[in-house]
């Protein structure tokens, strides 16, 4: 059975790189009828944040990545880690090191001075025939694992292929600090082994951790999972993604008006593809995704593509769902008579829910100002006369305002009879009704608002001569 996990640290918000990793892990587990776990790596007590922890859980709920079982917290598993540290000590595969920080700093400086890679020199490593230094008073030891001194550490990475590290790459690294707290590589290995992870999908910034973790797996006789190291997401210039480029809190995407399914669709394509297909339902992702097909090179974040994708999802989203989503942005359409027509109209033009809200409010709200550039360009000396004639036409056809087609049928002949071009009539009407020049079709707006509201708004604009004073 396939078992995967996502294991964030609650030291900050969940960003999109982490969400992509969790999505890949989720898809692979679900595709194979397996288990997907959420584990919080909260052993760094000084940097942990309850707000960050809440944000991680909130983000998972929003995007709908359901995990199996309860959330696991490393901070509640310290006794388990101590048990395995003692096993390694008892078996002679780990040892206590009393080297002080000052001694380590001196060692590192001397190695760097002769251009050597800084590494622990094994002073306290027990070996046959070796006499260890006298234990210094008042020094709490760290626990180091006995790493192999020669040979290679090899594994087959599901993304990068065959990986090979010289054993000299891994020194006798610390698995427990002097305060007894186990280190990252140790607890990750213990958790992944005891939780029976079969596949570990994570960012390739963890690649250098893998040889160390394999040393721990082998020392404890644990089965080594399949590793997939996913290349990073870069900005369009190929540099590290910054908050300005999109590396922000996942929940910020909600606040900016993105739909969770659009964000997941966007992320699945940042490093994986199925030909030229751009839009994937969750069902299609589950059917097609295979981590072995993840690209070996880094992906580039493309804000325009995300915006386009979100617009496509908004177009296909039911009005009932959109009405609920808009309540998050303090827009309640429950008492709007023609809300379905309004949503059908606005969602064709919106790329985010924030844009959707503005488009709707531009139609529903009576304008208290008029776009000055638009007035200057489209409101002429004869505009008042044209609009007064059109108001009368609307009044004569008051009973025909119940469909867009009927409004179009009596408006087009009017434009021809008056010898007008379409913008000469429609742009002043848009400005009068919405305050701007970018609103949807005038026919649609008239149909949605009805005669009384249209008459009132045009009359008000004429009274003020489209002035903002």
Q: Using only the alpha carbons of the chain, give its radius of gyration.
A: 32
Cα(4)–Cα(227) distance, rounded to whole angstroms?
A: 11
SS3 190: helix
Q: What is the DSSP string of 21-85?
A: HHHHHHHHHHHTT-EEEEEE----TTT--HHHHHHHHHHHHHHT---SSSPEEGGG-HHHHHHHH
Helices (H), 91-183: 101-113
Largest CA distance in the chain: 110
Cα(245)–Cα(243) distance, rounded to whole angstroms?
A: 5
On the 0-12 / 13-18 / 19+ scale of CB atoms within 10 A, 167 is middle
Cα(31)–Cα(287) distance, rounded to whole angstroms?
A: 7
Distance of CA 20 to the CA centre of its chain: 7
- For 186, list phi and psi in degrees, rounded to 5: -70, -50
Q: CA 451, 453, 456 angle in degrees (round to 5)?
A: 105
243 marked as binding residue: yes
SS3 143: strand
List residues forming the annotated binding site for ATP: 243
List residues forming the annotated binding site: 243
């Amino acid at each position: 059975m396939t078992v995967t996990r996502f294991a964030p640290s609650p030291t900050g918000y969940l960003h999109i790189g982490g969400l992509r990793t969790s999505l890949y892990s989720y898809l692979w587990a679900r595709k194979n009828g397996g288990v997907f776990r959420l584990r919080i790596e909260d052993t760094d007590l000084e940097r942990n944040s309850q707000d960050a922890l809440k944000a991680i859980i909130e983000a998972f709920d929003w995007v709908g990545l359901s995990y199996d079982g309860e959330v696991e917290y490393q901070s509640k598993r310290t006794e388990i880690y101590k048990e395995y540290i003692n096993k390694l000590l008892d078996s002679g595969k780990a040892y206590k090191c009393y080297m002080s920080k000052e001694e380590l700093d001196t060692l590192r400086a001397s190695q760097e001075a002769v251009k050597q890679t800084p590494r622990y020199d094994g002073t306290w490593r027990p070996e046959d025939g070796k006499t260890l230094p006298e234990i210094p008073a008042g020094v709490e030891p760290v626990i180091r694992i006995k790493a192999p001194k020669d040979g290679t550490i090899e594994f087959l990475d599901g993304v990068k292929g065959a990986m090979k590290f010289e054993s000299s790459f891994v020194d006798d690294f610390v698995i427990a600090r002097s305060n007894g707290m186990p280190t990252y590589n140790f607890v990750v290995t213990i958790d992944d082994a005891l939780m029976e992870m079969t596949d570990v999908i994570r960012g390739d910034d963890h690649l250098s951790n893998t040889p160390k973790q394999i040393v721990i797996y082998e020392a404890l006789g644990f089965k080594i999972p399949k590793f997939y190291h996913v290349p990073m997401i870069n900005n369009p210039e190929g540099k590290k993604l910054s908050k300005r480029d999109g590396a922000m809190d996942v929940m910020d995407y909600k606040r900016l008006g993105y739909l969770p399914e659009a964000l997941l669709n966007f992320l699945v394509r940042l490093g994986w593809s199925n030909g030229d297909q751009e839009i994937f339902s969750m069902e299609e992702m589950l059917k097609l995704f295979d981590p072995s097909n993840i690209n070996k090179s880094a992906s580039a974040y493309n804000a325009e593509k995300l915006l386009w994708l979100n617009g496509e999802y908004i177009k296909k989203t039911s009005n009932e769902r959109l009405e609920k989503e808009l309540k998050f942005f303090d827009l309640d359409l429950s008492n709007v008579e023609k809300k379905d027509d309004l949503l059908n109209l606005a969602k064709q033009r919106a790329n985010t829910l924030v844009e959707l809200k503005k488009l709707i409010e531009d139609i529903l709200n009576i304008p208290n100002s008029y776009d000055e550039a638009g007035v200057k360009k489209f409101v002429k000396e004869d505009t008042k006369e044209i609009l007064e004639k059109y108001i009368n036409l609307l009044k004569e056809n008051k009973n025909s305002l119940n469909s867009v087609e009927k409004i179009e049928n009596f408006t087009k002949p009017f434009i021809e009879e008056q010898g007008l071009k379409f913008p000469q009539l429609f742009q002043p009407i848009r400005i009068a009704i919405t305050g701007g020049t970018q609103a949807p079709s005038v026919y649609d707006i008239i149909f949605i608002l009805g005669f009384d509201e249209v008459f009132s708004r045009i009359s008000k604009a004429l009274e003020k001569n489209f002035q903002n004073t």
